[in-house]
Amino acid sequence: MEYDDPKRGTEVAERVRTFVREEVIPVERDHLGEGPVSDDTVRQLRETAREYDVYAPQIPEEHGGMGMDFGEVLPVFEEAGRSLLGPTAIRVDAPDEGNMHTLELVGTEEQKERWLDPLVAGEAKSGFSMTEPNTGAGSDPKMLRTTAEQDGDEWVINGHKWWTTQGSEADVLLVMALTDLDAHPYEGCSIFLVPADTPGVEIVRDIPHVGGGVTGMSHAEIKYENVRIPEENLLGAENAGFAIAQRRLGPARLTHCMRYSGMAERAIDIAKAYADQRQAFDGPLSEKQSIRFEVADIEMRLHAVRTMVRHATRQIAAGEEARIEVAMSKVYAANVVQDAIDAAIQICGGNGIGKDLPLADFYENVRQFRIVDGADEVHKRVIARDAFSDLDPSEVEHLTRYDAE
């Protein structure tokens, strides 16, 4: 299917597709069922990505990237998503991709030099520390309990976080904390840059979870006890944490959609190739109507996903918040991608759940998509609220009413 993507985006996407096919997928195959890739392997992939001229496409050139705009990188992220290691290899992997974007948006020049540049170069890792254990902030961010109090020229942070992706490997943590206890949380919290080796930062554990076998991605539980950081580590304006988080999360949700739709496309490509070769019941599986209709249904829904994501991406690129468009894209993409990978596994049968193909790892990885960056239910709540915000009573005024007289 052809889309009206910017020329530069399609050109770079073609290079990424070749890079993923020729360089990344062979490494992925070596690690299926064998545990995570090493840091050395990741470094080698990134060096090769630079040779292909596909490294850090979303980052401005002055910070070590290619300077592509949000609309241009859409097909690039899709192609990277075809492999579990593709996003990491070209440096468009979460959570660093979203954290780098946040630093780019609101960081000072000193913060960018200290944290953004090493992140882009692959010399550092980061975590976004917002979610808290029950009864702290989660799907309802208003329940935030972590605090940051100013003491002279320092901030003192106290709190308890978990599901901080890449938290145990991070060099810097972006911590969301209440800074005005008398204000509504949406107007009284801030984001801080906390070096992971700061006294008082305790990595309690890596939470056992589904997925992450090939990439080694962790989700950490972290306690902050009287963590002192200099006042210049405030990221963006004081009490603007939620506004900054929304600027981060809108694009981040769409980049998830881009990467995962690439994963779903490859899953279906694998299933089609397998079905065409697998002989059963007097012919190849690819000639059985049930499988052909299943593939046709997934192809239609993936086309709808790509179209929705492109529409929302253009809204974001034009400077709009596009909150409803992003929410719709996130929910629909997460469910379609999950269904696509499940269908691919079913078509491949025993080979689908085996680790010779990447489908089982795709399946373990994709389930989080309906939860991370806002659970389905949270986004549906936003969509429904908007849907019921502008009603026209005249549409039903002609209905017969109960007459007590």
pLDDT in tens, 179-234: 999 999 899 999 999 999 999 999 999 999 998 889 988 999 999 999 999 999 99
Whether 132 and 162 have beta carbons less than 8 Å apart is answered as: yes
Between 41-45, 100-104, 139-143, the lowest mean confidence (pLDDT) is in 139-143
- Span 134-152, mean pLDDT? 94
Q: What is the pLDDT of residue 16?
A: 98
Rounded alpha-carbon distances, angstroms, from residue 169 to 83, 109, 172: 22, 25, 9
Residue 80 pLDDT level (bands cut at 50, 70, 90)? very high
Does residue 331 carry a pLDDT above 80?
Answer: yes
With a pLDDT cut of 90, the percent of the chain lying above it is 94
How far apart CA 13 and CA 79 sit, in angstroms, is 6
With a pLDDT cut of 70, the percent of the chain lying above it is 100
Q: What is the pLDDT of residue 337?
A: 98
Q: What is the pLDDT of residue 7?
A: 96
Element (DSSP H or E) covering residue 229: strand 219-230
Element (DSSP H or E) covering residue 308: helix 289-317
In tens, the pLDDT along 226-284 reads: 999 999 999 999 999 999 999 999 999 999 999 999 999 999 999 999 999 999 999 99
Q: What is the pLDDT of residue 250?
A: 92
Whether 189 and 144 have beta carbons less than 8 Å apart is answered as: yes
Beta partners for residue 230, in sequence order: 154
Whether 88 and 125 have beta carbons less than 8 Å apart is answered as: no
Does residue 374 carry a pLDDT above 90?
Answer: yes
- Helices 359-366, 323-348: axis angle to 10 degrees equals 150
Nearest CA to 368 out of 252, 209, 186 is that of 209
Q: Report the chain's terminal Cα–Cα distance, integer Å.
A: 63
Nearest CA to 139 out of 128, 130, 147, 148 is that of 130
Q: What is the pLDDT of residue 403?
A: 87
Nearest CA to 261 out of 372, 364, 362 is that of 362
Does residue 324 carry a pLDDT above 90?
Answer: yes
Residue 311 token pair: 């529409």
Does residue 18 carry a pLDDT above 90?
Answer: yes
In tens, the pLDDT along 44-69 reads: 999 999 999 999 999 999 999 999 99
The phi, psi pair for 128, rounded to 5°, reads: -105, 110
- One-letter amino acid for residue 356 of the chain: D
Does residue 329 carry a pLDDT above 80?
Answer: yes
Nearest CA to 24 out of 55, 65, 64 is that of 55
Q: What is the DSSP string of 310-377?
A: HHHHHHHHTT---HHHHHHHHHHHHHHHHHHHHHHHHHHTHHHHSSSSSHHHHHHHHGGGGTTTS-HH
- Span 168-180, mean pLDDT? 98
